Amino acid sequence: MGNHTPYRIMISGGGTGGHIYPALAIANAWMEKHPETEILFVGAEGKMEMQKVPEAGYRIEGLKVAGLQRSLSLSNLSFPFKLLASLNKSKELLKTFKPNAVVGVGGYASGPLLYASQGKGIPTMIQEQNSYAGLTNKILAKKAKKICVAYPGMEKFFPTDKIQYTGNPVRKDILQLDGKKEKAFRHFGLEEDKKVLLVLGGSLGARTINQAVLADMEGLEKEGYQVLWQSGKFYFSEMSEKVKASGLKHIHVLEFIREMDLAYAAADVVVSRAGALSVSELSLVGKPVVFIPSPNVAEDHQTKNAMAFVQADAAVLLKDSEAVGKLKSTVNQLMADANKVRSLSENIKKLAKPKAAEEIVKVLESIIQ
């Protein structure tokens, strides 16, 4: 990619951490290689990207776009107007920013911007994180130049000649956990002689996982474990009040864990949903994992994500419907079996794709050429 004026790249999408963090990982990997580039993010107004992207040092513009509710809802009446406003703003942004390429990572906001970009003949690339493609990405794939995927077998959703099997990009700090355990114990106020159970339900929280920890937290503390528990935004005040009232000393409930590298470094066992980003991060971390897939997602793709790991003897599956009441016994079984812990750790690492962000950058370069 010889002499040129600095690149201008637009990255759109968001709504959840599962879309935002891959987008930031792509941006960071691109800037490492092309530091003169100007990057503009486009998100949905009121969604978490409007906060997370500026925190990471990038500029973002918001669209009024929102998703269609599956149930009959009054908010669906405003959907066409929001979509039209978002398309118009997308066209304005393209006109003033003049990007060399546009990247869509899924979520509401990627639809209008990629659609408008494709209409103007600007090269577009899609990054699909899940084993089951989202509706927006399936529609936009027809005119996208390339589609970066994290799972094999995505030909059932996308044109084969456009697919690049790159894996999901993750935050760089997760790749370097060695020597961080002491710092992690200090940071979270943990005791070094007790095993650590790390519980993750995503940035907003997972009701079943939170209920399962609540039901078993006394037993977990009695077993001698300490729990580092990301309850999520929706559940934090309720969960922290219940922990406070219980008088338990080793159940540490947090709304959101920003220092994920330290949380992973401290953990002996991880309990997590099986969203695309979680699965990709955990394969790099290489700790034994109990996946509790969310049943409330399109085509049950979290169970499909988790099963790919269970079949490779790389994780344990606990059904959402059985989590409350079975969490402690599942964790106990794992903590007590050193051979199982070792084999899970070794096998999950074999499924990792640590160079995903760099691979995606190469694909993006190819569509600009």
pLDDT at residue 4 in the model? 67
Q: Is 130 annotated as a binding residue?
A: yes
- Mean pLDDT to the nearest integer, 150-167: 94
Range of lowest pLDDT (132-141, 218-227, 232-241) = 132-141
Q: Is 40 annotated as a binding residue?
A: no
Q: Is 273 annotated as a binding residue?
A: no
Q: State which amino acid sits at residue 111.
A: G
Q: Is 16 annotated as a binding residue?
A: yes
For 97, 180, 199, the CA distances from 186, given in Å and listed in that order, are 45, 10, 18
Give percent of the chain above pLDDT 70.
Answer: 95
Q: Is 276 annotated as a binding residue?
A: yes
- Mean pLDDT to the nearest integer, 119-144: 92
Q: What value does the mean pLDDT of the chain take?
A: 92
User: From CA 247, how far away is CA 263, in angstroms rounded?
Assistant: 23
Range of lowest pLDDT (156-165, 214-223, 290-299) = 290-299
Q: Is 29 annotated as a binding residue?
A: no
Q: Is 68 annotated as a binding residue?
A: no
Q: Is 168 annotated as a binding residue?
A: no
pLDDT tens, 257-298? 989 999 999 999 999 999 988 999 999 999 999 999 999 887
350: number of Cβ within 10 Å: 10
Residue 91 has pLDDT above 60, yes or no: yes
- Mean pLDDT to the nearest integer, 63-88: 70
Contact 108, 140 (CB under 8 A): no
Q: Is 18 annotated as a binding residue?
A: yes
365: number of Cβ within 10 Å: 15
Give percent of the chain above pLDDT 90.
Answer: 78
Q: Is 246 annotated as a binding residue?
A: no
For 91, 161, 261, 336, 360, the CA distances from 148, given in Å and listed in that order, are 25, 11, 25, 39, 7
Residue 334 has pLDDT above 60, yes or no: yes
pLDDT at residue 15 in the model? 82
pLDDT tens, 107-123? 878 999 999 999 999 99
Going along the chain from its start, the domains and CATH numbers come out as 8-168+354-368 (3.40.50.2000), 173-350 (3.40.50.2000)
Q: Is 203 annotated as a binding residue?
A: yes
Helices within 143-275 (DSSP H only): 181-188, 207-222, 236-246, 260-266
Phi and psi of 209, rounded to 5°?
-65, -45
Q: Is 2 annotated as a binding residue?
A: no
Range of lowest pLDDT (67-81, 157-171, 231-245) = 67-81
Contact 208, 323 (CB under 8 A): yes
User: From CA 366, how far away is CA 255, in angstroms rounded?
Assistant: 40
Q: Is 277 annotated as a binding residue?
A: yes
Q: Is 8 annotated as a binding residue?
A: no
